Chains A and B, each alone.
Chain A
Amino acid sequence: VITRLQLDLSGFGIDLTTADGALAEAVARRWSGFARAPGSPAALRVEVEDVPAALPEGAFGDKSIVVRRVGGAFEIRMPEGCARVGCDGQIRIGVPRGTVEERAFAVDNVLLAALALALPERGACLLHAAAAVIDGEAVIFLGGEGAGKSTWAGHAAARGAVVLSDDLVFVAAGGGAVLALASPFRAERNPGARSTSFPVRAVLVPERARAHALDRLGVLRSVAAVTAGLMYECAGTSRAARETAEAVARAVPVLRFRFAPDPGWIDLLRRARI
């Protein structure tokens, strides 16, 4: 028996099929705010299959990922599993045997990498960034490990902002608008997360400092900063991801953000004419 989940990643329809009913239930729980109305079309079709190997010990601590381009497709290998992302929107995910929760977690992680490579062809990219909604608009705080994303997201939450994620955010650029998408990935700070999107007010490129300051970056540095924020080697392997990052950088203000460890930046950002 094949189970089909109809999912909606804030505007991008995804059909996910698997022969493992228990796994489908676990995935559906993770995506509970992101169900799609029956009958509406899906841009991506995901098939989840078993691969004949056990999950390696300590797999989830190992962040190694290898992405290869094979013709127009991408092949992804990571400790949790593998995926083939076709240019036709067909994604095949393989996860090893394990408990249902382990397998659901593996599907999440592999699917995330697959979406990072599949969505740029459709106008969205995945950024290593925190994102918070302030006065109805999303503000994106770019940065890798140690950049201060969690601290920053904590400030935003303390001042009542909805934190879409403190680690990664899908951003869609098209028709002149740039939108930050709510997603079920790394959304622990957004417990009621559901399918929705917010116009992006600014992208922040943080530098730690004693006092808050914002300066607008030039075009090339903006494009470089957003491109460098692409997750999963997308900048190295996917031209579409680079083009989407460039479209984002050209359409919204990218600001160098000198950032001190207090929430005062929210007032600075509100006052800033950008």
Chain B
Amino acid sequence: VSDRALIVRVGPIAIALAGGSRDLAAALEARFGRYAGAGEGGGAALRIDVEPALAEPFLEPPAGPQPLEVRIALRPAGTVSYTTRAAHGEFERNGGTGRLQLARTDWEPHDRAVENFLRAAAAWLAIGRGGVVVHAASVALAGRGYLFFGPSGAGKSTVCSLARGGAVLGDDIALVWRGSGEDPRLYETPFRGSWTGPWLGESVPLRAAFRLVHGDAPRRIAVPRALGLADLAAVLPFLGPAYACEPVLEHVAALFDGVPLYRLEFRKDDSFWEVLEDPGRGARGPA
């Protein structure tokens, strides 16, 4: 039995995938770029055994176009169960081992199904270890990281496409991580939406986080801390059942301590750069 595995790194978290076909491993390596590679998996926080793709689909197909249906449940033993139409798996929520079955379906490519599972696993591992996975775009400029978040359609991809000159660390899934005694940092993650720019292999100090709001002029709006944290809590993916067992909100509040939280009204040009560090003309305080 070989211990060789595909190691996927999400910031300081390593997840080892054992088993799975060569084609799947190649597709994942292409997908995750510099963040995936063969290894022994000794230091991985989580080791997932990937079983051959033989099962029938795990959920009925959706009735119409809608976001991917993901069912997450927390078992009493501390195991997280994850089910989509194309994948079913489970993993120990604080790390250890897990397994993943793929369905014999072309409804979703296997590498994408594995990525979605890894996103969920990373979200749980992060919340237990000093970090958080956020559904957000992240851009670095002048050595500082800026986090832009909001529900689908809020403008994450748009901000990335307008951020010419900034370094896009991610357009969909961001990792914020605070090492002991350090300020929080924003990491490039292997999980991308439609962004295809080069991999940077970098992390930067997190300077500020912005809830995106459409507007007709760029404007940075200060919000009460509780509202800012509530905005953030709304964009933590996959963690629904975690609220029952983890002090998620307290954890996020501690993680973002010292990081300003704003709403950012923006229009479709690069003028938003002008207000990230400065409220801009016509700025107003909390409503």
Task: Give Cα A245 to B143, complex, Å.
Answer: 12
Q: How many angstroms from the CA of A80 to the CA of B180 in the assembled complex?
A: 49
Q: What chain A residues lie within 8 Å of B197 (beta carbons)?
A: 236
Given A224-B165, A225-B165: A237 and B198 within 8 A (CB)? yes
Q: How far is the CB of B140 from chain A (nearest CB, A)?
A: 9
- Contact assessment for A228 and B167 in the assembled complex, using a CB-CB cutoff below 8 Å: no
Cβ A227 vs Cβ B274 within 8 A = no
- Residue in A67, A233, A235 whose Cβ sees the most chain B Cβ within 10 Å: A235
In the bound complex, what is the Cα–Cα distance between A57 and B164 (angstroms)?
A: 33
A233 to chain B: which residues have CB within 8 Å?
198
Query: What residues on B are CB-neighbors of A237 within 8 Å?
Result: 198
Q: Mark B164-177, 1 if CB is under 8 A from A, else 0.
A: 11110000000000
Q: How far is the CA of A38 from the CA of B271 in the complex (A)?
A: 50
Report chain A residues within 8 Å CB of B276: 220
B201 / chain A contacts, CB cutoff of 8 Å: 69
| A221-B270, A224-B270, A225-B164 known, 10 other contacts, Cβ within 8 Å | A67-B198, A219-B142, A220-B273, A220-B276, A221-B274, A225-B270, A235-B165, A237-B198, A245-B165, A246-B142
Instruction: Let me know if A242 is at the binding interface, CB within 8 A.
Output: yes
Q: Mark B186-222, 1 if CB is under 8 A from A, else 0.
A: 0000000000011011100000000000000000000
B202 CB contact (under 8 Å) in A67, A218, A226, A239? A239
B163 within 8 A of A: yes
CB contact list, B141-188 vs A, under 8 A: 141-143, 163-167
Answer whether residue B278 sits at the interface, using C-beta atoms and an 8 A cutoff.
yes
Taking CB atoms and an 8 Å cut-off, the chain B residues in 252-287 that contact chain A are 270-271, 273-274, 276-278
Which residues from B are CB-within-8-Å of A220? 141-142, 273-274, 276-277
Query: Which residue of chain B has its CB nearest to the CB of A233?
Result: B198
Cβ–Cβ contact B164 & A224, under 8 A: yes
Is there contact, CB below 8 Å, between B200 and A236?
yes
Residues of B within 8 Å of A239, CB to CB, are 202
Chain B neighbourhood of A69, CB < 8 A: 201
CA distance A195 to B277 in the complex (A): 40
Residues on A with beta carbons closer than 8 Å to the beta carbon of B273: 218, 220-221, 224
A223 in the interface (beta carbon within 8 A): yes
B198 and A228 contacting across the interface, CB-CB below 8 Å: no
User: Given A221-B271, A221-B273, is A226 in contact with B165 using a C-beta cutoff of 8 Å?
Assistant: yes
A interface SS class: helix
CA distance A138 to B276 in the complex (A): 30
The distance in angstroms between the C-alpha atoms of A102 and B270, with both chains bound, is 40
Contacts A218-B278, A236-B197, A236-B200 hold; do A224 and B166 have CB atoms under 8 A apart?
yes
Residues of B within 8 A of A246 (CB): 142-143
> Given the complex, which residues of B lie within 8 Å of A224, measured CB to CB?
141, 163-166, 270, 273
Interface flag for A217 (CB, 8 Å): yes
A227 touches B165 (CB 8 A): yes
CB distance from B105 to the nearest CB of A (A): 35
A225 vs B270: C-alpha distance when bound (angstroms): 9
- Verify A217–B165 contact, CB threshold 8 A: no
Contacts of B200 in A (CB 8 A): 236
| Residues of chain A contacted by B165 (CB below 8 angstroms) | 223-229, 235, 245
Find out whether the CB atom of A236 lies under 8 angstroms from the CB atom of B167.
Answer: yes
Pair B166/A219 contact, Cβ less than 8 Å: no
With a cutoff of 8 Å between Cβ atoms, the chain B residues found around residue A242 in the complex are: 167
15 interchain pairs, CB-CB under 8 A: A69-B201, A217-B274, A219-B277, A220-B276, A220-B277, A221-B270, A221-B271, A223-B141, A223-B165, A228-B164, A235-B167, A236-B197, A236-B198, A236-B200, A246-B142
B contact residues around A227 at 8 Å (CB): 141, 165-166
CB distance from A78 to the nearest CB of B (A): 15
Residues on A with C-beta less than 8 A from B274 are 217-218, 220-221
Docked CA distance A233–B198 (Å)? 8
In whole angstroms, what is the CA distance A144 to B101 when docked? 48
Shortest beta-carbon distance from A12 to chain B in Å: 24
Name the residue of chain B whose CB is nearest to the CB of A249: B142
A190 to chain B, nearest CB (A): 27
**In the complex, which residues of chain B have a beta carbon less than 8 angstroms from the beta carbon of A218?**
273-274, 277-278
Taken together as a complex, chains A and B put the C-alpha atoms of A220 and B166 apart, in Å, by 9
> What separation, in Å, do the CA atoms of A233 and B196 have in the docked complex?
13
Give every chain A residue within 8 A of B167 (Cβ-Cβ): 235-236, 242
Q: How far is the CA of A226 from the CA of B141 in the complex (A)?
A: 11
Chain A nearest CB, measured from B170 CB (Å): 14
Residues of B within 8 A of A229 (CB): 165
A242-267 contacts to B, CB under 8 A, are 242-243, 245-246
**Is the Cβ of A223 less than 8 Å from the Cβ of B142?**
yes
Question: Whose C-beta in chain A lies nearest to the C-beta of B146?
Answer: A220
Q: Which of B1-56 contact A (CB under 8 A)?
A: none
191-249 of chain A: CB within 8 A of chain B = 217-221, 223-229, 233, 235-237, 239, 242-243, 245-246
Q: Which residues from chain B contact A67 at a C-beta distance below 8 Å?
A: 198
A228, B167: Cα distance in complex, Å: 10
